[in-house]
A and B are shown apart, each in its own frame.
Chain A
Amino acid sequence: MTNRLTTTFAQPRPSLVCFITAGDGDTAANLDALVEAGADVIELGMPFTDPMADGPAIQSANLRSLGAGTTTADVLRYATEFRARHPQVPLVLMGYANPMVRRGPEWFAEAAALAGVDGVICVDIPPEEDDALGPALRAKGIAPIRLATPTTDAARLPQVLAGSEGFLYYVSVAGITGKQQAQIASIEANVARIKQSTDLPVAVGFGVRTPEQAADIAKVADGVVVGSALVEICGAYGAEAPQHLKTLTAALAEAVHNAR
């Protein structure tokens, strides 16, 4: 299947994947800033009251967004409007199972497809529970993007890869978002190990904050995911966030695109 994700990752240069939480500040302006500054893929976080896999930065973003009254309809509207403004840029929704399955997986897949969403990352639906959402997404042509982690051993990896689409998200640290970054040697070894078993592009995230770190990872992976560092900017600057997002994203994009 060719979609925006495959086209993007088919480029010879590594891709920059940027995460922000929907409804935290001026979402449209923040997303435009990321795209203008060179983000290749957008991950839009669906806020949830109980973000169990997230560190303080993204937890706070979730609470700010919900505190501002963000609903699932709002998140889908941000996606729809983004798609209209940026027809070519891949858009991935990332979040937790409960808001995604609340009205039934078919409802969610249909709504996400209508909004022009290319992929969905659901943190707390492992391959073992794929039935809860995966079939509905695939039926609508949306890529279920799975996570692999340092604890995903060789015996388990095939199960994670089976049914994964779009790209594989390698979580470089066993931990929550926004904390320390793994050693580049460990990232390189794990990405190499994963790439032996799949043709899917591999993007690496968790703990990536600076252009230097991003460049190191881009040398060994197909994509680099940056989240907490951007989300912190949204938290710190509010309505002024877009210009600051642009500055960091431009530096990250420069580092990632020219890493090899």
Chain B
Amino acid sequence: MNTPLNSFRTQPDERGHFGQFGGRYVAETLMPLVLDLEREYRKAQSDPAFQAEFDDLLEHYVGRPSPLYFAPRLTEELGGAQVWFKRDELNHTGAHKINNCIGQILLAIRMGKTRIIAETGAGQHGVATATVCARFGLPCVIYMGAEDVKRQSPNVFRMKLLGAEVVPVTSGGATLKDAMNEGLRDWVANVHDTFYIIGTAAGPHPYPEMVRNFQSVIGKEARAQMLARTGRLPDLLVAAIGGGSNALGLFHPFLDDPSVKMLGVEAAGHGLDGDEHAASLLGGSPGVLHGNRTYLLQDEDGQITEGHSISAGLDYPGIGPEHAWLKESGRVDYSAVTDEEALDAFQLLCRTEGIIPALEPSHAIAAVKKVAPTMPKDSIILANLCGRGDKDIFTVAERLGVEL
């Protein structure tokens, strides 16, 4: 395909920079490894056998393509734009995370690595990683904040059933960023045999690009499906943002379609006016963490502050560097949704469409709820339903005051 002159799809540069963001801010011990990973990834990218195996597993193991679904009762309830969903919650393991894990484990095997590590917040990436490790017979260690181990206990049990060792991380705030620190510490000490499957489009280059590319299957399918079903492109894409992988997966294939607007939805927690949120773009500032320069929640001395969100998968004080760049370039709009609004949207989708969404995409649905009524009835919103809510029913029950 010819990329237009002003393409938004040609990032990052050869140093892994998305404008001023991204890069490879890692300890020297990891640097040769990160460079090696990039070389191997480039080889895999141009190897038709790699792509064929990836596609085959996505089709027969993950269950792709995921459906594109028009939500009639939600549309009617909101009284504006047509609301459509990309149903990535129907994937094996219940979220988009598995798309990326399939890609990375194939790469790990190609590189001769014999041990897999990963960090997880909500546990979805941990479950997806444990799943592909079981599928390919590799030992797997999952780092998970001790707080998240508590609030996502069903996923902890799932990972254990799948044969993973789950290590609760108690340092710092004991959530996703601390799990990522521990993953990096493990990697530094085991570089010879270990592959780190990062779960979102963040970390040192080439992770942000690589994860985005593996997740782009979402947007490629959705674009073709939408054209086939309606003969046109959507007017607005909406996706929730933790580190940003499901959003980039949906957005990236549409970035050079000027008629398609995009909205990334961050977690506003208890509200952007206080400190209890996880909105790095709207409530943070640029800095360096976990291998990349990006927007971070931090104080004036550059100390990282703890995010808060009802959704463990969005509770991260950073964001993938490509989103930082897309924000500054103005191509994508970003907004934020509170815990309360996400909880309302969660229940709304249950009642109107018979779908229990995860709390992460509930943030996207809440944004849809706000924007759909302002748009004409013949316009189309496509939101990423990137995870199902089974893992969240305990959190939701507690918030609704229901005892299970």
Contact = CB atoms under 8 A, between A and B. Distances in A.
Contacts of B296: 98
A50 B32 contact: no
Contact of B23 (A66, A129, A160): A129
Contacts of B189: 173-176, 179
Given A50-B304, A156-B32, A124 B287 contact: no
Given A98-B296, A101-B302, A129 B25 contact: yes
Contact of A152 (B32, B177, B178): B32
B288 A50 contact: no
Nearest to A173: B189
Nearest to A51: B181
Interface in A197-232: none
A50 B185 CA distance: 11
Contact of A102 (B30, B33, B301): B301
B13 interface: no
B304 A102 contact: no
A66 B33 CA distance: 32
B303 A99 contact: yes
Contact of B181 (A50, A66, A99, A179): A50
Interface string A81-119: 000000000000000111111100000000000000000
Interface string A144-164: 001111111100100010000
A98 B298 contact: yes
Contacts of B33: 151
Interface in A48-62: 48-55, 59
Nearest to A123: B27
A28 interface: no
Contact of B28 (A50, A96, A152): A152
B-side interface mostly: mixed
Nearest to A124: B25
Contacts of A97: 25, 288
A130 to B, nearest CB: 11
A132 interface: yes
B301 A72 contact: yes
A53 B24 contact: no
Contacts of A194: none
A109 B15 CA distance: 25
Given A97-B25, A99-B302, A129-B24, A50 B177 contact: yes
Interface residues of A, number: 43
B29 A71 contact: no
A148 B32 CA distance: 11
A239 to B, nearest CB: 25
Contacts of A146: 28
B386 to A, nearest CB: 27
A248 interface: no
A96 B296 CA distance: 15
A128 B27 contact: no
Contacts of B172: 49-50, 63
B374 interface: no
A12 to B, nearest CB: 29
A174 to B, nearest CB: 5
Contacts of B185: 52-55, 176
Contact of B31 (A50, A53, A156): A156
A238 interface: no
Q: Which of B192, B291, B302 has the most CB of A within 10 A?
A: B302
A160 B102 CA distance: 34
Interface of A: 48-55, 59, 63, 66, 71-72, 96-102, 123-126, 128-129, 132, 146-153, 156, 160, 171, 173-176, 179
10 contacts: A53-B27, A54-B185, A59-B171, A98-B298, A98-B302, A102-B301, A126-B31, A152-B31, A175-B29, A176-B189
